[in-house]
């Protein structure tokens, strides 16, 4: 924009207008908003205090390419932060649930378990990982096979059944599986 001091500052956000005013006289500037999910979160701004013709259409085209890359990087960083926060919340809940939770592969191999699973079975978490929940902990074939459970999960359904299991000390207990 040429001669931005003639610009109606009401068209700009308060922060941008204040930043432009505090920079002193500017003859021309290029400004592009950086947005994420429809919200303007920053501006990419280039200005020149002396030359009203400092920026050509080619300069704008080059700035536009840089702006696109910066916008993508900012969005990726914000998404990474949201994912990290979500993972932190998941870990917090997973580790503090009173009920035992096992994350298993399709064949029943335990990939992760929470501290309640450790208390329930008597096995240390590092020993639970890699065990097969059906062969190593269950005392008998469940009423529903893992294949059927997996088919239900793939259809978006949840299968619920009871199963007798054996603790590390040999004592038995019943548990509801979902």
Could you please report the per-residue DSSP string of 119-130?
HHH---HHHHTT
Cα distance between residue 144 and residue 166, in whole Å: 18
Tell me the per-residue pLDDT of 140-175, one tens digit each, with 9 for 90 and over.
Answer: 877 777 788 778 888 988 878 888 999 999 999 999
Cβ(108)–Cβ(128) under 8 Å? no
Tell me the per-residue pLDDT of 76-118, one tens digit each, with 9 for 90 and over.
Answer: 999 999 999 999 999 999 999 999 999 999 888 999 999 999 9
pTM of the model: 0.61
Cα distance between residue 79 and residue 64, in whole Å: 22
Mean pLDDT, residues 9-35 taken together: 74
Summary mean pLDDT of the chain: 85
Q: What percentage of the chain has pLDDT greater than the value 70? A: 90
Neighbouring CB atoms inside 10 A of 161's CB total 13
Query: Sorting pLDDT into bands at 50, 70 and 90, what band is 12?
Result: low
Q: What spatial distance separates the first Cα and last Cα of the chain, rounded to whole Å? A: 62
- Three-state DSSP at 155 gives coil
pLDDT of residue 44: 85
Write down all domains in the chain, each with its CATH number in brackets: 4-93 (no CATH), 97-177 (3.30.450.20)
Cα distance between residue 99 and residue 173, in whole Å: 14
β partners of residue 177: 161
């Amino acid at each position: 924009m040429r001669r931005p001091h003639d610009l109606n500052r009401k068209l700009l956000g308060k922060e941008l207008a204040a930043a432009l005013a505090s920079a002193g006289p500017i003859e021309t500037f290029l400004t592009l908003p950086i947005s994420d999910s429809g919200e303007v979160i920053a501006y990419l701004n280039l200005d020149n205090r002396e030359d009203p013709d400092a920026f050509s259409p080619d300069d704008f085209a080059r700035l536009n390419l840089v702006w696109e890359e910066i916008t993508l990087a900012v969005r990726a960083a914000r998404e990474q932060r949201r994912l990290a926060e979500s993972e932190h919340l998941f870990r917090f809940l997973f580790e503090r649930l009173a009920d035992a939770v096992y994350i298993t592969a399709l064949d029943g191999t335990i990939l992760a378990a929470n501290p309640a699973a450790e208390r329930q079975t008597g096995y240390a978490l590092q020993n639970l990982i890699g065990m097969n929940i059906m062969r190593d902990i269950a005392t008998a074939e469940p009423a529903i096979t893992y294949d059927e459970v997996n088919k239900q999960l793939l259809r978006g359904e949840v299968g619920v059944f009871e199963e007798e299991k054996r603790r590390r000390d040999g004592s038995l207990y019943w548990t509801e599986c979902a």
